[in-house]
Every structure is written in C-alpha cells, then in structure tokens.
Amino acid sequence: MTSQSNKPFGESLRLLMEENDFSYRALAQRTRELDGRGMTHAHINMLAKGHDRPSMRAMELIAEACGVDPDYFAEYRLARAMRELDPSEVGLEQALENLNLRLAGRRRGAAREQPKPSRRARPHPTG
C-alpha cells in the first residue's frame, strides 16, 4: 500500500477497508474501540459513497483504525494545509510564516527537479 492516496476520500476509504477486510460494521466497531465514541456504520457508509464530507476527526479515526497515517487521505492533507494558512485559525503572522515555509519548500523541490544541462561535445571546425 502507498503512504498517500490522491483518490477521492470515498474511494480511498473503500480501498483501505478492502485491504483490511473491514465491513462498515467492523470498521465502526474498530473506531469505537479506539476512542470510546467511534463512528456509526451508517456514517462510514455515507463517507465511502461520497454522500458526506469527512471531518478531520473522522479521517484521523478511520486512518488509525486502518493502520495508516491521516495524511494518507488527500482531503486530510488539504484540510490541514487550509487550517495552517487560515489567519482566523492560526493568526495572520503564523499564516504568513506557514505560507512562506511552503513556498520555500516548493522552490527547493523545483530546483532539484530541474534537468542539469548536458555537456555535449561541440564539433571543432577543421581547417
């Protein structure tokens, strides 16, 4: 299994459930064992079919129950990034700092991906 999925949440969830041989009820039971409250099988079904948007708590709980990091889900990575960049959540100064860190990381990644100029032999004029 890959460490991250870029598929929609419902599809990623169904794949994880299949890999772990979980039914909706089995996954719901596993989430209840983790935090006492857990999730209902009906809610998990709605998430898997794309009828509900998952909360961060739901993604974290499902990820733990399935033995993956919450960052496995693309929606979780997006929600975390949005929260880190939201001035009402973290304050303006922190949001700007987080944005600058992300941009710097992207620039470093792009610099590593740049192809190095190839050194080709140049023909020497004869004469």
> For 51-65, how does the pLDDT look when each residue is reduced to its tens digit (9 = 90+)?
999 999 999 999 999
Read off the pLDDT of residues 3-13 as tens digits, 9 standing for 90 and up: 899 999 999 99
Between 56-66 and 41-48, two packed helices, what is the crossing angle to 10 degrees? 100
Residues 44 and 98 occupy one common structural domain? no
pTM, whole model, 2 decimals? 0.73
- Read off the amino acid at residue 111: A
Read off the pLDDT of residues 80-91 as tens digits, 9 standing for 90 and up: 999 899 899 889
Taking residues 73-84, what's their average pLDDT? 94
**Distance (Å, rounded) from C-alpha 50 to C-alpha 111?**
38
Q: Say yes or no to pLDDT of 35 above 60.
A: yes
- Domain assignment present for 83: yes
Would you state the pLDDT for residue 121? 54
* Residue 30 domain boundaries: 9-73
- Read off the amino acid at residue 70: P
Residues 15 and 61 occupy one common structural domain? yes
Q: Given pLDDT bands bounded at 50, 70 and 90, which one contains residue 43?
A: very high
**Distance (Å, rounded) from C-alpha 24 to C-alpha 31?**
11
Residues 40 and 92 occupy one common structural domain? no
Q: Say yes or no to pLDDT of 92 above 80.
A: yes
Q: Pick the closest to residue 57 from 42, 41, 75, 45 (CA basis).
A: 75
Would you state the pLDDT for residue 126? 65
* The total number of structural domains that make up the chain: 2
Owner of token pair 């997006």: 78
